[in-house]
Amino acid sequence: MNRISEFLKKEANRHSIHYYLVFVYLGLSLSVYGPTLPNLAGQTGSRLGQMGAIFLVGSAGFVLGNLLGARLFDRLKGHMVIGGALLVSAALTLLLPIVPAFWLLMALILVKGIGEGLFITGGNLMLVWTHGEEVGPFLIGLHFSSGLGGFLAPFMIGGLILFPNGYQWAYWIVGVYGLLVGLKILLLPHSPSPLRSESGQAGDARSAAISPLVLVAAFYLFFYVGTERTFSSWLYTVVTTLKIFGPQGAAYLTSGFWFFFTFGRLMSIPLAARFRPQQVLPVALTGCVASMCLAMLLPPSSLLLWLLTIVFGLCMAPLWPMGFTLAGQSIKLTARLSTIIMLGDNFGGMLLPWAVGQVIDLTGPQMVFSIVFGGVALMFATYGLMVTLNRRGPLA
C-alpha cells in the first residue's frame, strides 16, 4: 500500500491512470462492434458483408482526428482536447444501437471516429511528453488498458445476448462510462507540454517527417492494426458462420482473445523495463506467424481455435507499444511527427477489416486467417527495416 501511495503522490502518475481509463473506453468502444455486427445488420436492414464498412468509415474518422490532433495538441491544452473528444465519442455510442438506417449509422461512426482519433493521438503523446525516455512501461500500460476494454466488451455481450435486444445495453453501458471519464479528464490540471530538444526548441518535426524510419514505422503500424482489428472483429462471424461455435460461445472466444491479449500486455510491462524492443519483438512476431500457420494448415475445431486465439493474443500484445518505442528511439515525437506515424495505424484499421468484409461476401470466411497471416508476415518485414534504420543512430 505504501508503494501505491508513493506512486499516486506524483501528478504525472495520476494523470497516466486517467489516460488509461480513456483507453479502457477505446477498447470497449472498438470491440463492441465485432460480436454485434449481425445485430447492427438486422437493425439497419443491411447485408452482413456491408457491415465491414464500419471499420472503413470509423478508421476514416481516425485519420481525420489524427490529422486534426497534429494541429491541436501543439496549440491547446491536451486535457481539454482529449476530454472533449471523448464526450463526443461517448454520446454517439449511445445512439448507435437505435439508428434505423445504414447511412445514418455510418455518419455517426465517422464523427465518433474523429473523436477517437483525437484521444488516441493525445493519450500516446501525453504519456511521451510526461515520462520522456522512461515512457516504455507506461506506454505498454496504456495499451494494456485498451486490451482490458477489448476483453470486457465481448464478455459483457456474451451475457447480454441472452436477452431480447441485449446488444443495445452493451452500447449504452460503454457510452455512459465514456461520458463519466470524459468529464473527469476535462477537470485534470496541468496538461503536459511538447518535449524540448537540448537547444530548448521543440523537436524538428519537419526534418524527422521525411526520414525513412518514420515511413517504415507508419507501415509497421498499418499492418499491425489492420491485422489485430481484422482478427478480433471478424473472429465471431467466422466461427459462427462455420458453425464451430454458437453465438454465446463465439462471444466468449472473442473475449478470450482480448483476455490473453490484455494479459500479454500486462506481462509486457516488466519485459519493457528489462529488455529492449529488438529482443522482444522477433519472438512475439514468430508466435503470431506460427499460430496463423496452424489456422491455415489444420482443419478448424473448437480446441484448435482456442489454442491459436490464446497464442495469437499473447504474441500480438507487445507489438504496438514496443514498435512505437523502437521508432521513438531515433526520433523526437512531436504532435505532427506522431500524426505521420499513426496515419499508418489509422489506414490499417480502415482498409484490412473492410477488405475482409468484401472477401466474406465473395468467398466465405475461410480466407480470413490467410489475410491475417499475410499481415503478420509484412509486419515482420517492416520490423526488420525499422531495426536496420534504427542502427543509424538518433535523429534530431
pLDDT, mean of residues 34-38: 82
pLDDT, mean of residues 195-218: 58
pLDDT, mean of residues 284-307: 91
Q: pLDDT category, 207, cuts 50, 70, 90?
A: very low
pLDDT, mean of residues 199-219: 62
Q: pLDDT category, 394, cuts 50, 70, 90?
A: very low
pLDDT, mean of residues 242-266: 85
| Residue 165 in grid coordinates | 435486444
Residue 350 lies in a domain: yes
The answer to whether 124 touches 16, Cβ cutoff 8 Å, is no
- Domain tally for the chain? 1
Residue 1 lies in a domain: no
Q: pLDDT category, 118, cuts 50, 70, 90?
A: very high
Q: What percent of the chain has pLDDT over 70?
A: 91
CATH code of the domain containing 85: 1.20.1250.20
pLDDT in tens, 331-369: 666 667 777 787 787 788 777 777 877 777 777 777 888
pLDDT score at 360: 73
Instruction: State the average pLDDT for the chain.
Output: 84
pLDDT in tens, 1-17: 667 777 777 888 888 99
Q: pLDDT category, 200, cuts 50, 70, 90?
A: very low
| Residue 362 in grid coordinates | 465473395
What is the span of the domain harbouring residue 330?
A: 14-190+203-390
pLDDT, mean of residues 302-317: 92
> What residue spans of 329-363 are helical by DSSP H?
335-363
pLDDT score at 204: 43
Q: pLDDT category, 209, cuts 50, 70, 90?
A: very low
55 or 210: which carries more pLDDT confidence? 55
pLDDT score at 393: 52
Residue 195 lies in a domain: no
Q: pLDDT category, 91, cuts 50, 70, 90?
A: very high
Residue 198 lies in a domain: no
What's this model's pTM, rounded to 2 decimal places? 0.72
- pLDDT at residue 158 greater than cutoff 80: no
The answer to whether 318 touches 281, Cβ cutoff 8 Å, is yes
Q: pLDDT category, 215, cuts 50, 70, 90?
A: confident
pLDDT score at 210: 55
- pLDDT at residue 56 greater than cutoff 90: no
pLDDT score at 395: 41
Residue 196 lies in a domain: no
Burial per residue of 180-201, b for 16 or more beta-carbon CB atoms within 10 angstroms, e otherwise: ebbeebbebeebbebbeeeeee
pLDDT, mean of residues 102-117: 94
Nearest to 292 by CA among 271, 313, 272, 275: 313
Residue 7 lies in a domain: no
Report the run of H or E that residue 159 belongs to, with start and end: helix 135-160
Nearest to 341 by CA among 239, 217, 207: 217
> Exposure of 345 by Cβ count < 10 A (0-12 exposed, 13-18 middle, 19+ buried)?
buried
Residue 209 lies in a domain: yes
Residue 197 lies in a domain: no
Q: Which amino acid is at 240?
A: T
How is residue 196 annotated by DSSP?
B
pLDDT, mean of residues 25-33: 89
pLDDT score at 331: 67
